[in-house]
Amino acid sequence: MSLIDTLPKPEKSGAVLDFAAILKLLPHRYPFLLVDKVLSFETGTPNKIICQKNVTFNEPFFSGHFPSEPVMPGVLQVEAMAQAGCIMMYLCHDENEGKRPAFMGVDACRFRKPVRPGDVLVIECEEEKYRRGIGTMKATVKVNGELVAEATLMAMMV
């Protein structure tokens, strides 16, 4: 039985995994859980995942970033990409069951457009390399099909 078979099934259509299943995979909780659902994932060469984050005006960071012109901080976009990548590492590598993700690094990070309240982030990660619990992945964040952020990330399962 694989890890995916043990997770709760989504209550809503359009998701492979919903927030209830994500809570079983990631140690993050409100206000730091930045992935709402997994739209799709593929195992193979390379492993891939597509996740979604709904950005609302009620997000706690908008009260200070910036009150008159709310913008989602870039570091939280990077964190959303890292969380999506760690979900992919759980789903595509059975040896990671019961382990916890540790973010190791970020390279070639670029922010292309601001993310504002009401935006729906589509986070895509593709595994570049995986060896002994350490994964490197390319990740992007898009809003309405337009690239808003991208990075190469590294994480370890401990």
Instruction: Give the integer Cα–Cα distance in Å for 75 and 61.
Output: 11
Q: What is the per-residue pLDDT for 116?
A: 98
CB contact set of 67 (below 8 Å; sequence gap of 6+): none
- Which residue is associated with the tokens 């994964």? 135
Q: pLDDT per residue over 24-57, tens digit each?
A: 999 999 999 999 999 999 998 899 999 999 999 9
Structure tokens at 55: 């950005």
Instruction: Give the integer Cα–Cα distance in Å for 94 and 71.
Output: 37
Q: With a cut of 50, which residues of the chain have pLDDT below it?
A: none
Instruction: Give the integer Cα–Cα distance in Å for 69 and 154.
Output: 32
Q: What is the per-residue pLDDT for 5?
A: 76
Domains parsed from the chain with CATH numbers: 3-157 (3.10.129.10)
Q: What is the per-residue pLDDT for 66?
A: 94
- Whole-model pTM? 0.93
Catalytic residues: 65
